[in-house]
Amino acid sequence: MKKLLFKKGKAASRRQPELPAKSVAANRRALSIHDVLLARQLIAPFVRRTPLIPARNLLYDIKGARNLFLKLENLQVTGSFKARGALTRVLSLPKSDLKNGVITASGGNHGIAVAYAAMQAGTHATIYVPESINPAKRHNMHEFGGVTVTGGTIFHEALLNAREESKIQNIPFIHTFGDRGVIAGQGTVALEILEDLPDVDVLVVAIGGGGLIGGMGLAAHGINKKIRIIGVEPTGAPTLYQSLRQDKLVKLSSVNTRAGTLSMSQTTRTNFEIVRKHVEKIVLVSDEEMKQAAEWLWFEMGIAAELAGAAAIAALQTGKVKVRAHEKVCALVCGSGLDGVGS
């Protein structure tokens, strides 16, 4: 497996790899780095290997860190890391299951990613969205052949309606963060980081539903168990923060954040267990702190990050993530946008 992990060479072919359909998505054993490696092989022709860059400019604003790097998933093919998980899930399905398309629910990035994944698989996606969806996000779903349906006033209503329609039509439902294939696919971000920066000490990762940080934890600790993994949630949506604090799955009575992709009220049992095992701690940042971080990324480094994409930087700038001078730190810029700039 190490040969696969660190192999360098020509870009992958556009032909879909021949992998067992149930290798990632349907196996009920515990997820591991093996699933992440399978996911990377499966999705390689359809995703971009995003850059890892030094962020020396940011060091003036951070106490402790002297070796900071940014992983720019805002430059991913659909504008966020979500393409990785969506592709893994969709491409793992048997072709017979895809003849009538796939269904999902999303307020933005996941829906765009599923539309893209469905297009690459030769089918289409129906995406249930909340009334509050950003028009630009809906437009991008359409650009990849997706069909959008307004499924409720809030995301949770859209989610319930999408699940119900999936059952009625017998069409695969692609969960935004709780599916095994999605988790494994998101973990491929960590594989790339470890290849480009093998001696990284700390990973700082924003949390929505937990699929990203969970997958990255599986991959990173499958290579080096000493890596510290720190999660970042909004103060108005501390879903996994409260779950870990109370040592049980918690459903928030309400969420209040402008970072829409980090506004989940509850995670899944699978994600909770993975995060509990692999994440050292979770810190909270405010919308204003994310906005300031997004502005810094744009005006100082020319990086267009949505509020959620700037969450990891906000945690470092505010000193909520404690790092030592000798530690190499990688912060994930997980999604593109300008919603934090000038608003």
Q: What is the pLDDT of residue 4?
A: 34
Domains and CATH numbers, the chain: 52-80+180-333 (3.40.50.1100), 94-169 (3.40.50.1100)
Q: What is the pLDDT of residue 15?
A: 39
* The model's pTM: 0.90
Q: What is the pLDDT of residue 105?
A: 96
- The single residue listed with the structure tokens 């829906």 is 111
Q: Each residue of 83-140: pLDDT tens digit? A: 999 999 999 999 999 999 999 999 899 999 999 999 999 999 999 999 988 899 999 9
Residues of the chain with pLDDT under 50: 1-23
Q: What is the pLDDT of residue 292?
A: 95
Alpha carbon 104 to its chain centroid, in Å, reads 16
Query: How would you classify residue 233: left for phi > 0, otherwise alpha for psi between -120 and 50, otherwise beta?
Result: beta
Q: What is the pLDDT of residue 263?
A: 86
